[in-house]
Amino acid sequence: MCGICGVLNTDLSPADAGMLGKMVAAIRHRGPDDCGVYTEGNVGLGHARLSIIDVAGGHQPMRSSDGDLAITFNGEIFNYIELREELEKRGHRFATSSDTEVILHQYEEDGEQCVRRFNGQWAFAIWDRRMRRLFLSRDRMGIRPLYYTQTRRGFLFASEMKALLAQPSVRAEFDLRALDQVFTFWTTIAPRTAFKGIWQLPPGCSAVVDERGVRVERYWSLSFPEEKHRTVEEERELACELRELLLDATRIRLRADVPVGCYLSGGIDSTVTTALAAHVAGDRLRSFSIAFADAEYDERRFQQEASEFLKTDHSSFCCSAADIAEIFPEVVRHAEQPVLRTAPAPMLLLSRLVRESGFKVVLTGEGADEVLGGYDIFKEAKIRRFWARDVSSRWRPLLLKRLYPYMDGLQRQSPAYLRHFFRVSEGDLGSPFFSHLPRWELTARLKLLLSEDVRNELRDYDAFEEMKAALPSEYWTWHPFHQAEYLEATGLLPGYILSSQGDRMAMAHGVEGRFPFLDHRVVDFAAKLPPNLKMKGLREKYLLKRACAEDVPASILKRTKQPYRAPDGKCFFGADAPEYVEQCLSHRAVRDGGVFDANAVGVLKAKFQSGRQVSTRDNMALVGVLSTQLLLNQFAGRQLDSCTQWGSELRFATSS
């Protein structure tokens, strides 16, 4: 796992190796073990390496033996061993034992279609000298990041935007539409990013870049074939099949020349991945978790239970509100987009613990909720839809109490209010976003905080329309449950969970996450399941629980899902609040930033300072404003000077 970057100067000016070095330096945290730059005329590739497979031989950028191809690659191709065997049979000769070289040979064999053969998590760029073009690709689910921009001189790409900003010609200018999207969906809609003119290659896409421009092509998309009714017998078989698939997905994700650890959150997903890893590895595993000083968020009891059951050597980091406040500016610097939750912060602290414990690879349970029907939002949509069929029913709304058992505020609501909150109108039922409307509409209220100028600028913009336009045509034919899964798996998952809370927080300390539930075979298998095998009645992840009942302790199998959350807005107030909070949220700072209404932010701040009860929306508002203000300070309008940690160890290579 690494950081990559590169340039293709379409004005044919020579690539500047020194400037590439600066780009590499900006993302050096992603690959502290090694780094290198390759230039050939108007093309340059840069690489910061975290050495995991073929530690000695896998230096990058790597060239093919004939010198026609050069690659810079971030990620893993987990089935590289099988692919290599096939390629060798076809006469390919390998100089290293790395997966990087397998990509080069597979590209020689299949051209742009090579990515369809890969099982993994990747972002890479191949310079094809014969074709005079760059080929870029990003994995199916968006696990590894890839950004690009175009300047007058040419095309630039990198794992993180801060590497692009190391080029003097690239400036970070806030994209207000992106802000509107984050303050509605919690993330931008790919290819949009927080900054104007900087794009992300969407998950499941490749791109070809040459002097004619950038052409993006989708090679994979999440799709839900028509569901079939399943018999009880078939259900048993499907459960076995799912477990076998997960076992194999885990097995190939343990391929590494360094030890692999596991995150153990105390929920079923990470317990399953850890259990399967222990099964495959056959020896004692090392596990890691986040604990919270605040009991409301803490899952230590279940983490310990899982660790004892699976006999892992466990370490945890106990996170306090003060820790979150202290580390938050770092969180935003790495996330490179506003966030509405502080939940990434503990993940940043956890990756530090992992790194300090000598590990650079961890397996996690990420993705199970999206692909196997775990989220409460799916449950909520199901209840609302069920109730909408008989709006006069008095007892149907009571099902709503079964939602969100961990949300005390909601549990204390009267039935009359619950009915009102989750009410369904005719119009809502026909909306493609039925499942997500309550969440998105609640979030969109945060836009009240925007300054008048920004609101004027956004007057004619409708984020929902942009989201609608991005939907595939077959979306409208899918079961509502699958529509909801699609929105989660293609929206929040890559846009926040795998990025702001995932890749960026882990890679800040050079730690690579691997996700068995996001193996595309598992994803495709799950997409074919009928919704009632994912959520049976209101039992979430039904088939997964059935498939892995023997692998996890009964208490964890039976416990109600607790989403991962961390203390939010209150972290930033009180006697020990860090100074930057006031520097970012003062009337003057907010006014000068121009994004938010300084008076409105003042009112919000006063509410937190008063110690009065605050709502979910207040928390999102506070964290959203603070992270945006931090982002403005750290990035906007600036060109980054991040030439730290970059010195004599950088290897230069040029074509000869």
Partner 1 sequence: MHTVGIGTEIRDFVVTNFLFGKGDDLSDEESLLDNGVIDSTGVLELVSYLQERFEMRVEDDEIVPANLDSIRNLVEFVGRKIGR
Least separation in angstroms between CB 445 and partner 1: 5
Q: What Cα–Cα distance (Å) separates residue 430 from each residue in 165, 382, 416, 427?
A: 43, 14, 24, 5
How far apart are alpha carbons 651 and 47 in whole angstroms? 10
Reduced to 3 states (helix: H, G, I; strand: E, B; else coil), residue 168 is coil
Q: Are 339 and 446 in contact (CB under 8 A)?
A: no
Instruction: Pick between residue 566 and residue 625 the one whose CB is nearest to partner 1.
Output: 625
Q: Which residues of 581-603 are buried (b: 16+ CB within 10 A; e: fewer)?
A: beebbbeebbeebebbbbebbee
Task: Collect all residues with Cβ–Cβ distance below 8 Å to 646 and sequence separation of at least 6.
Answer: 21, 22, 24, 25, 28, 35
Instruction: Pick between residue 420 and residue 539 the one whose CB is nearest to partner 1.
Output: 420
Q: Which residues of 418-442 are buried (b: 16+ CB within 10 A; e: fewer)?
A: bbeebebeeebeeebbbbbbbbbee
Least separation in angstroms between CB 535 and partner 1: 22
Burial class of residue 11 (count of CB atoms within 10 Å of its CB; 0-12, 13-18, 19+):
exposed
Least separation in angstroms between CB 265 and partner 1: 25
The single-letter DSSP state of residue 495 is: I
Task: Collect all residues with Cβ–Cβ distance below 8 Å to 532 and sequence separation of at least 6.
Answer: 542
Instruction: Pick between residue 392 and residue 414 the one whose CB is nearest to partner 1.
Output: 414
Both tokens of 329, joined, read 């500016």
Closest CA to 634 of 327, 334, 352: 334
Q: Are 163 and 26 in contact (CB under 8 A)?
A: yes
Closest CA to 180 of 469, 485, 465: 465
Alpha-carbon torsion (197, 198, 201, 206), positive or negative: positive
Q: What Cα–Cα distance (Å) separates residue 389 from each residue in 401, 414, 534?
A: 19, 22, 22
How far apart are alpha carbons 381 and 435 in whole angstroms? 5
Least separation in angstroms between CB 406 and partner 1: 13
Instruction: Pick between residue 90 and residue 612 the one whose CB is nearest to partner 1.
Output: 612
The residue whose two tokens read 């689910």 is: 141
Convert 94-108 into a string of H (helix), E (strand) and C (coil).
CCCCCHHHHHHHHHH
What residue ranges bind partner 1 (CB under 8 A)?
Answer: 407, 409-410, 412-414, 416-417, 420-421, 441-442, 444-445, 448-449, 597, 599-604, 607, 612-617, 621
Instruction: Pick between residue 180 and residue 269 the one whose CB is nearest to partner 1.
Output: 180
Phi, psi for 137 (deg, rounded to 5): -150, 150
Instruction: Pick between residue 177 and residue 607 the one whose CB is nearest to partner 1.
Output: 607
Q: Are 77 and 92 in contact (CB under 8 A)?
A: no
Alpha-carbon torsion (82, 87, 93, 99), positive or negative: negative
Task: Indicate the Cα dihedral angle 409, 413, 419, 425, nearest 10°.
Answer: -30
Closest CA to 214 of 321, 136, 273, 132: 136
Least separation in angstroms between CB 614 and partner 1: 8
How far apart are alpha carbons 102 and 86 in whole angstroms? 10
Closest CA to 376 of 541, 618, 180: 541
Task: Please compute Rg for the chain using Cα positions.
Answer: 24
Q: Are 100 and 60 in contact (CB under 8 A)?
A: yes
How far apart are alpha carbons 644 and 79 in whole angstroms? 36
Both tokens of 345, joined, read 């912060």
Instruction: Pick between residue 421 and residue 475 the one whose CB is nearest to partner 1.
Output: 421
The single-letter DSSP state of residue 560 is: P
